[in-house]
Amino acid sequence: MAAAKYHSATPPFPRYKEIFTSTTRRSIGGYRVNVCKAKLSESNAKKANLSARKKERIRVPNYGDDGTGGKNIHHISEFLGHPCGIESILNTRALQSYQSLDSNVYRCTLPQLQLLSFEVAPVLDLRVTPSTEDCVVEMLSCKFEGSEVVERQNERFSASMRNCITWETIGTEPFLKVDVKLDLVLEVATLLLLSIFW
């Protein structure tokens, strides 16, 4: 698979981080979302297993030469392994806060949500693993911070997510391919509570 190449700037990558954070980015070939029907399993409590998947192919814009005659060219893998690339993948501008827990693990706190009389702040622990072939983002933990009632829901659900980003060049055009899979296990009482909120 040919790697998409990028022109250097200061910082060492130009506006390519907009690919991950722009709300107006264009996807080529569309995307597909499959949501599996909830399945109830009998244990101490009834639980619903929910699964969703989204695949997307994104054309990478051409921002032009960097003025060096093409001497400073970087592969997308270099961008994704750079701190500014990590920040773009995490979309840190949309977060309330984030901190590094390890060399490739980050705790991301989303802005508080007002749900009826409750304030909820979702907190995600994400592992970002860039390589020369792909970049994988995995959700290690998802918790709600807020009132005692809100935080009790953490014991009644679990979530996992895997986002695999790969790249290819078709002809002369570079593309990113994004494959996201999300799995949720919720106690039915929690599922009903969330449905009331949303």
Percent of the chain surpassing pLDDT 90:
29
| 4 band by pLDDT with thresholds 50, 70 and 90 | very low
Amino acid identity at 70 = G
Q: Where are the alpha helices (DSSP H) in the chain?
A: 18-21, 76-81, 83-90, 148-152, 188-197
Residues 105/140, Cβ–Cβ less than 8 Å: yes
| 47 band by pLDDT with thresholds 50, 70 and 90 | confident
- Kindly report the pTM of this predicted structure: 0.72
* Domain count along the chain: 1
CATH number at residue 88: 3.30.530
Q: Give the residue numbers spanning the domain of 132.
A: 5-197
Q: What pLDDT score does 146 carry?
A: 85
Q: Cα–Cα–Cα angle for 146, 148, 154, nearest 5°?
A: 75
Q: What pLDDT score does 28 carry?
A: 46
Q: Cα–Cα–Cα angle for 85, 83, 31, nearest 5°?
A: 20
φ, ψ (nearest 5 deg) of residue 103: -65, -30
CA separation (Å) from 76 to 19, 169, 184?
12, 11, 31
